[in-house]
Structure 1
Amino acid sequence: VQQIRRQEAAGAVADLSAVDYGGALVGGLAFPFLLLPVFGLLQGALVVGALNVAVAGLLAGWLFRRSLRRRGRVAVAVATVGGLALLGGAAAFAEPFEVTARQRLYRYPIVHAERSRFQEIVLTAAPVDRWRSRDVRLYLDGDLQFSSLDEYRYHESLVHPVMAGKHRRVLVLGGGDGLALREVLRYSDVEHVTLVDLDAAVVELARTHDWLSERNRGAFDDDRVEVVAADAFTWARDYEGEPFDAVVVDLPDPDSTETAKLYTVEFYGIVDRHLAPGGRMAVQAGSPFFAPWSYWSVVSGLEEAGLTAVPYHVDVPSFGDWGFVLASRGPAPPALDISQGAPELRFLTPAVLDASRVFAPDRIPDEVEASTLLDPVILDYQRREWVGY
């Protein structure tokens, strides 16, 4: 600092701190919003390191150009070039290193990995087993979204009860993998489906990757489908079009501030405005066994939004005991049933649905609060309940 401008020691320290804080602010904003999406975690860190080495070399050569002898200037240049070469070499091997490191986090071989604007998307696949079935799994930021061995249990349970009512126009919030959409489109009398998912990269992968499009049966190529890449809360708040007969809410668990808003009284009230008379809504609500407070908070949130809620749960081996909520307007609870015109299902039957309404008393906590935008209690519930699992 004294090389730039002669000043008192206190002033030099203040200038140094100001530059340090300013650099930290720029770096703190640039890394998550620019470097991480463009270069990834490891290469982004190497880019930052290379920038620091280059700036240090240039500053040292300029600030001390008069006091450094030729040998010193050569040493600075060699150190700068050597540091950049070392970081460049590390960057060249970063991708295979990342692939190897990432693979250690997953049980089965990774067949696709990318980082979108919003999350890391990983698709794994087990080798074909003796029953000629391949276990394809989708992970978003490390969280399992489905296993192809049992996802039909989840999606049949989420979709078909709500389709027992009117379903000419259907709204799907989330579900970018296209599996809930697949179940909706099995009804020939569905005329229009709007699917709203935050991450267009997930939808594109589900549309184009053979192993995913095979499992969603090419749902995104159906002429009845309209896909919107948007935040579900913002889209629902701003939507002014024709109402929907059935709404399927298949959103990520509320384990972050961004997703917790999608499990609030306000959000359910907004979605309710888009229900046609006699319309119904089905919500994936997490595990009533592993996260009972979160699950029943969803039920309370729907009821406080003015809807009548019917909770139910089924066994999905990849997830465990998993819960859903069927809701509609009016004092009478919606019938938990399967439409007579429903397609043939592998798992869900009227008998399974009857049993799904039974909850053990030790999984029904007392005095559960509904989550709101001002008091997102479900975020605290979620973080507390999953500890140890």
Structure 2
Amino acid sequence: MAVLEQQRPAARWYRPLLLAAVGVCAACGLVYELVLLTLSASLAGGGITQTSLIVAGFVAALGAGALLVKPFLGHAAATFVAVEILLGVVGGLSAVTLYVTFSFYGASGWVLVAGTAVIGVLVGAEVPLLMTLLQRGADDVDAQGSGRILADLNAADYAGALLGGLAWPFLLLPLAGQVRGAALTGLVNLLAAAVVAGVLLRAQLGPRARRTATAALLAAAALLGVLLWRAQDIEVDARQRLYDDPVVSAERSRYQEVVVTRRGDDVRLYLDGDLQFSSLDEHRYTESLVHPVLARDPQRVLVLGGGDGLAARELLRHPTVTEVVQVELDPAVLDLARTRLADLNDDALADPRVQVVVADAFTWLRDPPGAPFDAVVVDMPDPDTPALGRLYSTEFYGLVGSVLAPGGLVTVQAGSPYSTPAAYWRTLATVDSAGLTGTPYHVDVPSFGDWGFVLAQAGDAAPPLALSAQRPPTRFLDEAVLAAAGVFPPDRSRQELAPSTLDQPLVVDDMRQGYQG
């Protein structure tokens, strides 16, 4: 007890500053968890199961860390500084480690599990250590005093978590990106450790411990500094390994990673690593998506998704189309459509007949301005995440039907009936569950393989597959090809499945299962 009395700091600012350090450390800890969740989503799809396992694993690791640190509470000051240095390094390097591992080996699940466990254990060790340090700086260490200290500790911890939860999506991720954002957070963690070690806990650390802590902090800060300096080169090298062709444009938007590659005449667009089109055969996909919906010569057409402008290009070639409303979520994709992809889409988004709306399609459909549409083209990415799964739900297609004029047609890109048959036939079932009736069809797109679509209309009758007599010349789709597109082989015959809904996004699991033999 006498030893503790000698170690107890008398300064009045000890507790406020240590509580401030608690808040900063809590903010960094939450940012690290959000880094793991973000990378889980961008590298591996980040479904409900994977997200739940990361969160549950992180919480379990918090408890393990609290237990593992018990033997070191007698040396709380030195242990806390060591924990913060390790946390700053591991957390700061987490993003680049996961990204590089995924780029080189095609998978990073084991790194994700290890990172979750190590960061969770280190964050879990913080609270017992800080509680010990706060009690050493307090005179009221009876039961009631301990309760007050714990209340202050929890308040600072939760306030810091709130700060970290806001800083990641609104500041660090959009301005610095995942790799730099994690590294900057690690530096903040190291700065907090340096302040605590050099100002608050100096009296509790011996000369040797102070020298060791100083050297470790400088080495860790130098390591993260080098990462910040070379982050762009590391990202470029790692990203290029993911793609066969040279990367000519790469941007991390608020919603996804947008990459354009080019080799000769082959220009390709990738969103979060998934191929959206190849310029060598995109006409097969685009003509098959667009021209069946133009069979009744519409005037006013709605495009949901399709921010690359290719669907709009094809619509504008049809002589009866007088207005196209293009609803796209990501401004980064629209910027590409107006610049690098303008030659491919014939600068369609600059055409006065096209009205571009930057909005979430689901939200926009709930209160669309203007009259109903004569036709709707739904050109969304595959539903391999919960966020995209809602765009393949009964509720979404119900909203699509509500903006359709009487006699209007809808086309939906529905994935591959060969590689992901359950997802394809589930999409048809979901369209049918929303007051529409769909006709399935599929074509060969070499970059994608066998690719499927759904043509639908309101009511109980499925629309025939037909082309307008006024259609412009096409490179791929004609009456014979479209008629053949409606035929499915016995090994990929129609499956009767339950629809996908917001409550049960079954199509997401279908996509994850992939090929079914």
- With normalisation by structure 2, the TM-score equals 0.69
CA contact (8 A) 2:319 2:470 kept: no
Check if 1:183 corresponds to 2:183.
no
Whole-angstrom distance in 2 between the partners of 1:350 and 1:123: 33
Comparing 20-29 with 250-259, which one deviates more in the overlay? Answer: 20-29
**1:40-79 pair list within 5 angstroms:** 40-66=177-203
Aligned equivalent of 1:131: none
Letter in 1 for 2:171: L
Letter in 2 for 1:117: R
Aligned equivalent of 2:138: 5
CA contact (8 A) 1:121 1:141 kept: yes
CA contact (8 A) 1:248 1:282 kept: yes
Whole-angstrom distance in 2 between the partners of 1:331 and 1:386: 31
Aligned equivalent of 1:99: 236
Give the strand-richer structure, 1 or 2.
1
Comparing 16-25 with 310-319, which one deviates more in the overlay? Answer: 16-25
Letter in 2 for 1:189: T
Letter in 2 for 1:252: P
Letter in 1 for 2:273: G
Whole-angstrom distance in 2 between the partners of 1:290 and 1:93: 39
Residues 329 and 52 of structure 1: CA distance in aligned 2, closer, same or farther (over 3 Å): same
Match of 2:499 among 347, 370, 373: 370
Letter in 1 for 2:195: L
Aligned equivalent of 2:36: none
- Highest Rg: 1 or 2? 2
Match of 1:235 among 364, 368, 372: 364
Residues 363 and 22 of structure 1: CA distance in aligned 2, closer, same or farther (over 3 Å): farther
CA contact (8 A) 2:437 2:456 kept: yes
Aligned equivalent of 1:124: 261
CA contact (8 A) 1:171 1:194 kept: yes
Aligned equivalent of 1:214: 343
TM superposition shift of 1:29: 5.2
Aligned equivalent of 2:327: 196
Comparing 178-187 with 302-311, which one deviates more in the overlay? Answer: 302-311
Deviations 1:169-226 (A, max 9, x none): 00000000011111001123311100001101100111022xx111011011100001
Comparing 371-380 with 7-16, which one deviates more in the overlay? Answer: 7-16
TM superposition shift of 1:31: 3.1
Match of 2:448 among 308, 313, 319: 319
TM superposition shift of 1:20: 6.0
CA contact (8 A) 2:429 2:499 kept: yes
TM superposition shift of 1:387: 8.3
TM superposition shift of 1:386: 4.8
TM superposition shift of 1:61: 1.2
CA contact (8 A) 1:296 1:364 kept: no
TM superposition shift of 1:118: 0.4
- Unaligned stretches of 5+ residues in structure 2: 1-132
Aligned equivalent of 2:424: 295
- Unaligned stretches of 5+ residues in structure 1: 129-133
Match of 2:391 among 250, 262, 269: 262
Q: Percent identity?
A: 56
Residues 115 and 236 of structure 1: CA distance in aligned 2, closer, same or farther (over 3 Å): same
CA contact (8 A) 2:425 2:495 kept: no
Check if 1:89 corresponds to 2:218.
no
CA contact (8 A) 1:177 1:216 kept: yes
TM superposition shift of 1:69: 7.5
Measured on the aligned residues, the alpha-carbon RMSD in Å equals 2.5
SS of the equivalent of 1:345 reads coil
CA contact (8 A) 2:418 2:450 kept: yes
TM superposition shift of 1:73: 6.2
Residues 47 and 4 of structure 1: CA distance in aligned 2, closer, same or farther (over 3 Å): farther
Aligned equivalent of 1:246: 375
TM superposition shift of 1:34: 3.1
- With normalisation by structure 1, the TM-score equals 0.90
Aligned equivalent of 1:356: 485
CA contact (8 A) 2:429 2:496 kept: no
Aligned equivalent of 1:135: 266
TM superposition shift of 1:377: 1.5
SS of the equivalent of 1:172 reads strand
Deviations 1:139-194 (A, max 9, x none): 01111101111111000000001011131100000000011111001123311100
